[in-house]
Structure 1
Amino acid sequence: MTAPEAVVAPMRPLLAALLLAFATSAEAAPRILCTLVAEAGSGAVLLEEGDCSTRTTPASTFKLALAVIGYDAGFLTGPQAPVLPFRAGDPDWGGANWTRDTNPADWLRHSVVWYSQRITHALGAEALTRYARALSYGNADFSGDPGFSNGLDRAWIASSLAISPREQVAFLNGLVSGTLPVTAAAMAQTRAITQSHATGGWLVHGKTGTAYPRRADRSFDYARGYGWFVGWAEKDGRTLVFARLTQAQERSEGSPGTLTRSRFLADWPGLAP
């Protein structure tokens, strides 16, 4: 064996392991179901890749619509009001940020499920359905899981409410253009509490969403979670609206929504025309 071969030989197992790890990582990446980008105002589609017309659960992206509804109905009154207390029995799987007093800005920032539930229970299914239909928000179905009467608790989380990426973008276009059939203040306050991220010279505002499909036995399939990132991006006076939807191929440490946002923000400079 020559000297170079003697050096390379011990490295072969390491190289093989690295290649296997890379392949495994690539296989585990969430599958992009749709990426849709449109010009705000005109709604002209600039990029559409994948199936953007099939409806699925909106998961926590519904919080943007619920914020619009909550402000228009008067339940929400500002970025810091109302402050609502965590109560025993409220969903707490989001960690410490879910087990403390919460205002609208915190609600969107930390995606607090129980705060959404306070709004939905205060307004009721009839009002929510009426608003969703007026906003053309998907199928406007707040019935919840069949036979469980849980629509006000989770219609938007892998349950009855469903929306397509195209419908998401149409709603977002109305939100940023100020043309939704609600008060201007409701739209402005919703925009103000939406989280933003800088990438490639753009300021990207958006909301993530994560939900796991149910199996026949009602358990959740954590290996096939849906991930959303929807919102709008601004640069030099121009505004684009977007939606990306993914589905996991195996269970991962990060939530599908967070992973979708991270990848989208990395991709965005190459996606924006």
Structure 2
Amino acid sequence: MKNYLACTGLISLFSMAHAAEICTAIADAGNGAIVLQRGDCRKQVTPASTFKIAISLMAYDAGFLKNEHAPELPYQPGYVAWLDSWKHPTNPQKWMQDSVVWYSQNLTRSLGRERFAAYTRKFDYGNANVAGDAEHDGLTMSWISSSLRISPLEQLSFLGKVVNRQLDVTQHAYAMTAALTKQDKPLAGWELHAKTGAASGYGWYVGWASSKGKTYTFARLMRRDESDPQNVSAGILARDGFMADFPALIGSVAR
């Protein structure tokens, strides 16, 4: 609590935060303590592609995913292809890097409705509602502008369980998910594992940062506004904003 009060008192230091920022939250992964909470961090919205972290754990645990490169699945006409980069054969590494929706859908179909829902409940992921709605099939679209919702604080809770390996999946599932989410370069001396997400005008950047035996989980949620470049994903905006803030943020909590 002492750390939390100290950090909330530092909010004025971060006046550079984007006007459309909804929440930035950071937790000590070792004990789950929230060390920074700025904004409305209990607001539940669609997780969008941040849910790929959960899908990765499910699919490696179930054996559908093998390693970073297998299986490679071919693109087929009729698959969701909102981006040209999705119209290519895709393996787990490309799936995570390019946020390929149709690959996610192949994985959840392989799991089936009951197993997919059971994993989501076991992970205690947000509201754990993968039923879908009138416009979205739950098995293939519940995490994109549909029934599944999660708050930034719930993201931290889930990510803490990932870091501490408390989700009752195989060690291989944890290791491969960490490998897929590892960012190319350290930031301010910290190794980052993270995922963007964007849907319904919301942008996410969530993950964990580790250095010298210390790990923090983090979540940035923002909402696109008219001042933002409209040709850039809200997830990329959330990522770039958080990374610009990261040295000051981590410097305030990692003492």
- TM-score of the aligned structures, taking structure 1 as reference length: 0.81
Matched, 1:203 2:181: no
Aligned mate of 1:233, from 192, 206, 209 = 209
Q: Cα RMSD between the aligned structures?
A: 1.3
- Between 255-264 and 244-253, report the one with greater CA deviation: 244-253
User: What amino acid maps onto 2:106 in structure 1?
Assistant: R
From 245, 249, 254, the counterpart of 1:267: 245
- Does the aligned pair in 2 maintain the 1:30–1:256 contact within 8 Å? no
8 Å CA contact 1:138–1:162 kept in 2: the answer is yes
Match of 1:14 in 2: none
8 Å contact kept, 2:136–2:142: no
| Equivalenced residues, count | 231
Please tell me whether the aligned partners of residues 169 and 242 of structure 1 are also in contact (alpha carbons under 8 angstroms).
yes
Quickly say closer, same or farther: Cα 1:30–1:66, change in 2 above 3 A. Answer: farther
Deviates more, 1:56-65 or 1:236-245: 236-245
Q: Secondary structure at the match of 1:209?
A: strand
The answer as to whether partners of 1:142 and 1:161 remain within 8 angstroms in 2 is yes
Tell me the distance in 2 between the aligned counterparts of 1:202 and 1:44: 19
Which one of the candidate residues 118, 126, 136 is aligned to 1:130?
A: 118
Local SS of the residue matching 1:199: coil
Q: Matched residues, percent identical?
A: 47
1:36 corresponding residue in structure 2: 25
Distance (whole Å) between structure 2 residues aligned to residue 136 and residue 40 of structure 1: 17
Rg larger in structure: 1
Q: Distance in 2 between matches of 1:86 and 1:156?
A: 21
Residue 225 of structure 2 corresponds to 249
| SS of residue in 2 equivalent to 1:186 | helix
- CA deviations on 1:52-80 (whole Å, 9 max, x unpaired) are 11211000000000000011111111111
Q: Which ranges of 4 or more aligned residues in structure 1 deviate by more than 6 Å?
A: none
Of residues 46, 55, 64, the one that matches 2:53 is 64
Counterpart residue number, 1:9: none
Deviation digits for residues 216-259 of structure 1 (CA, Å, limit 9, x no counterpart): xxxxxxxxx10000000112221110011001112622110001
User: Residue 43 of structure 2 aligns with which residue?
Assistant: 54
1:253 alignment partner AA: N
| Pick aligned residue for 1:185 from 138, 151, 172 | 172
Residues 195 and 207, structure 1, Cα contact 8 Å, conserved in 2: no
- Cα distance in 2 for residues equivalent to 1:204 and 1:184: 20
Query: Structure 1 regions of 5+ residues with no counterpart?
Result: 1-28, 213-224
**Pairing 1:85-100 to 2, within 5 Å after superposition:** 85-95=74-84, 97-100=85-88
Residue number in structure 1 paired with 2:10: none
**Which amino acid is 1:72 matched to?**
D
Aligned counterparts of 2:19 and 2:238: Cα–Cα separation in 1: 8
Equivalent residues in 2 for 1:140-179, closer than 5 Å: 140-146=128-134, 148=135, 150-179=137-166
Code of the residue aligned with 1:33 in structure 2: it is: I
Cα distance, 1:145–1:83 mapped onto 2, change above 3 Å: same
TM-score, normalization: structure 2? 0.87
Letter in 1 for 2:99: S
Aligned residue for 1:115, secondary structure, equals helix
CA contact (8 A) 2:20 2:224 kept: yes
- Which whole-Å CA distance do the structure 2 matches of 1:149 and 1:124 have between them? 16
Cα distance change on mapping 1:254 and 1:30 into 2, 3 Å: farther
Q: Which residue of 2 aligns with 1:23?
A: none
| Structure 2: stretches of 5+ with no match in the other structure | 1-17
Equivalent residues of 1:210, 1:228 under 8 A apart: yes
What amino acid maps onto 1:94 in structure 2? L
